[in-house]
Every structure is written in structure tokens, then in C-alpha cells.
Amino acid sequence: MILYQLLCDDGHEFEGWFRNSGAFDDQAGAGEVMCPHCGSGEVSKALMAPHIGPKGNARKARSDGPRETSQRQQMVRMASEIRDHVEKNFDYVGDEFASEARRIHDGDAQERGIYGEASVEETKALTEEGIEVAPLPGMPKNKVN
């Protein structure tokens, strides 16, 4: 996996993880990379300094600066807002997620937004079948400590 600092045409900066260096180009070219702030699909790689970890097993205590803390707080808030939106507007189908997603995809059930639980194997199978799925960010409210 590779982490890129990204920039939309409105000037918003954000990070994105990609499988390899060509994955960003493929996804951006297909219009699949969007700014989480404004939804713009005009996204490019921003200039960034490489992060080189300590040599060997040496580890230094790292203190996050105020900018990193602010960005982390903003990401947590945005993830929480996404989860809240899904929980309020989509149907919860529990562990029937994979089968219900297939029924909707095949036209055997009403098209609607759903969320629930699926194993890694079920999620991989859905993706291979051309059914779009995405993990829901953040922790469910009933599982937060």
C-alpha cells in the first residue's frame, strides 16, 4: 500500500491509500477518486516529502504536532458524520448483507442503500461479482467504549 497526499481543484488537501503507484492513476482516470470535502473528481497528487522510518528496529517516540492532531480530529469527525448518515438513511440488514446486496444487484429486491456485516471472503466475492461495497468508517455506536 502507498499513501499519497492529494489535492482537488478547489485546493482541499487530503490523503489516500492505494494498492500501488499505478492504482492512483487508474482510479483517478476512471473518476473514482473524489475529494472528501467537496466531492470534486478533479484530484491530483500533491507535493509531499517521503516518510522514511528509523533504521532497523529503532523506534523514536513521536509526538504529533497541532496540524496532525487537527487533521486527525477532522478525519474522525468526518468518519462519524458518514456513519451517522448511513445509519439514519440506509436499511440495516445485519449478517444478511451479502445476500441482500446480491438480491438488489440482481433486481430481486428493491434498490436501496443497505449496511450490515460481511466477512472478508463475502466482501471479496461481492466485488468479484461487480457489486460495489465499501467499509463503513468509524465504530458503531453500540461498540464504542
> How many CA atoms lie within 13 Å of 10's alpha carbon, on the beta-carbon side?
10
**Per-residue model confidence as pLDDT tens digits over 101-130:** 999 999 999 989 898 888 888 988 998 999
| Residue boundaries of the structural domains of the chain | 2-45, 76-136
The CA distances from residue 73 to 49, 55, 68, 127, in Å, are 22, 30, 9, 31
pLDDT-based confidence at 144, cuts 50/70/90? Answer: very low
